[in-house]
């Protein structure tokens, strides 16, 4: 398929090597327009979902956070300052990003931005208004707070989260729904949390009735053997414990989505020198990610392959091989359509193997180079000629 794509590519003049026109065009783009494009692509991905793609008839959204670094310029440092423990001139600005993903399609629905010193939960609260009634939010223990569970309940959405480590889990209290399954009552905090307005604090309900479930993971390789979940899904018959346990295992998919955006699409280290251009760069990465996801979904629907079996990396490689030939055939729609069908076929045949219960430890095999760390600004830094014989 790849060789055929290269064969179909007609001869074209070599592109210019200057990047001035590209930079000028990129500077004229508006962030609001780019965000609308990314949202439109995400809505198309969600609109193609079928009933069997949902979880017990409910759409599931996954939230999680990450960071990205960028060039060390005064403008970027002012917008996203580096950690205080880092010496001046030796670190990079870091932007905190919290994404809201679709569990069924993998689309990046919305993205919130904050500084590194802000907690993920504080940044994520910008995303709660984007949730719709009947949505189920899937999150880890960092998002399990009274305020957020109350806000989600008020919007008509539900949540499945891991119990925060600061809260005790007493299965002797509450109403028993089954083995390791209880209805518990949380009371409103006595003091208003920092950052919460008096009006918002007064709107919180005095109590919340929640469901607390517990199960054990026997698969080797997982860090914990016992997991305790808190959920607003109170109907034990409609949402059994086993279904909740299987759903929470899907939360790991958000880590793979961030890896695809940061590693495969290159958002881990941003390149722009000003905050305005950095925000455009982040929005363009979201557009590129959703475009690749849309191509994967189309191949999945046409060739009847499960979407999660299609490789994101394989799709990206196939797209790189076919892109020039597809662009060159813009004036020949029939041949371009045939080549696009071949691209979708190549994507659908590059499936991932079934690996249930696979353990993926966060560890790197390739060792880093044994270079000195920068402890002073580069112009002031002097590295010894030999690490065992420092220069006098």
131 Cβ contact partners less than 8 Å away, ≥ 6 residues apart = 61, 100, 137, 152, 155, 157
The angle subtended at Cα 259 by Cα 254 and Cα 260, nearest 5°, is: 95
Q: By mean pLDDT, which of 5-19, 339-353, 364-378 is the weakest?
A: 5-19
Residues facing residue 112 across a β-bridge:
98
Paired tokens of 67: 């960071």
- Given this model, what pLDDT does residue 190 score? 86
- Whether 392 shows a pLDDT value over 50: the answer reads no
Paired tokens of 148: 């957020």
- Given this model, what pLDDT does residue 20 score? 80
pLDDT > 90 in the chain, percent: 62
Helix (H, G, I), strand (E, B) or coil at 98: strand
- Whether 165 shows a pLDDT value over 80: the answer reads yes
Range 74-93 average pLDDT? 87
What DSSP state is assigned to residue 367?
P
Q: To which H or E segment does residue 160 belong?
A: strand 158-162
What's the rounded Cα separation, in Å, for the pair 17 and 31? 27
pTM of the model: 0.88
Domain residue ranges in the chain: 1-9+24-47+273-353
Question: Could you report the per-residue pLDDT of 360-375, keeping only the tens digit for each?
Answer: 667 788 888 888 888 8
């Amino acid at each position: 398929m790849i060789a055929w794509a290269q064969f179909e590519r007609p001869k074209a003049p070599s592109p210019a090597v200057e990047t001035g026109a590209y930079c000028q065009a990129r500077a004229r783009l508006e962030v609001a327009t780019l965000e609308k494009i990314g949202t439109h692509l995400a809505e198309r991905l969600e609109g193609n979902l079928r009933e069997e793609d949902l979880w017990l008839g409910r759409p599931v959204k996954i939230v999680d956070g990450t960071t990205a670094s960028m060039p060390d310029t005064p403008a970027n440092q002012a917008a996203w300052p580096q950690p205080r423990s880092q010496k001046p001139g030796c670190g990079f600005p870091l932007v905190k990003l919290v994404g809201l993903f679709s569990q069924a399609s993998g689309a990046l629905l919305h993205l919130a931005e904050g500084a590194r010193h802000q907690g993920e939960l504080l940044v994520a609260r910008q995303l709660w208004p984007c949730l719709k009634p009947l949505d189920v939010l899937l999150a880890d223990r960092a998002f399990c707070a009274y305020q957020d569970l109350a806000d989600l309940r008020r919007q008509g959405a539900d949540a499945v989260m891991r119990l925060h480590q600061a809260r005790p889990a007493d299965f002797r209290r509450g109403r028993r729904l089954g083995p390791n399954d209880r209805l518990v009552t949380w009371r409103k905090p006595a003091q208003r949390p920092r950052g919460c307005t008096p009006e918002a604090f007064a709107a919180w309900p005095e109590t919340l009735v929640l469901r607390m479930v517990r199960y054990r993971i026997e698969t080797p390789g997982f860090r914990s053997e016992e997991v305790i979940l808190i959920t607003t899904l109170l109907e034990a018959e409609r949402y059994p414990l086993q279904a909740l346990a299987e759903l929470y295992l899907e939360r790991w998919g958000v880590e793979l989505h961030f890896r695809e955006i940061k590693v495969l699409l290159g958002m881990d280290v941003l390149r722009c020198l000003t905050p305005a251009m950095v925000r455009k760069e982040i929005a363009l990465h979201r557009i590129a990610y959703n475009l690749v996801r849309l191509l994967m979904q189309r191949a999945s629907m046409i060739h009847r392959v499960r979407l999660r079996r299609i490789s994101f990396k394989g799709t990206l490689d196939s797209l790189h091989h076919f892109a020039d030939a597809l662009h060159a055939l813009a004036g020949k729609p029939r041949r371009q359509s045939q080549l696009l069908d071949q691209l979708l076929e190549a994507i659908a045949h590059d499936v991932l193997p079934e690996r249930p219960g696979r353990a993926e430890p966060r560890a790197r095999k390739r060792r880093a180079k044994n270079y000195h760390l920068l402890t002073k600004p580069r112009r002031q830094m002097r590295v010894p000629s030999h690490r065992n014989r420092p220069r006098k």
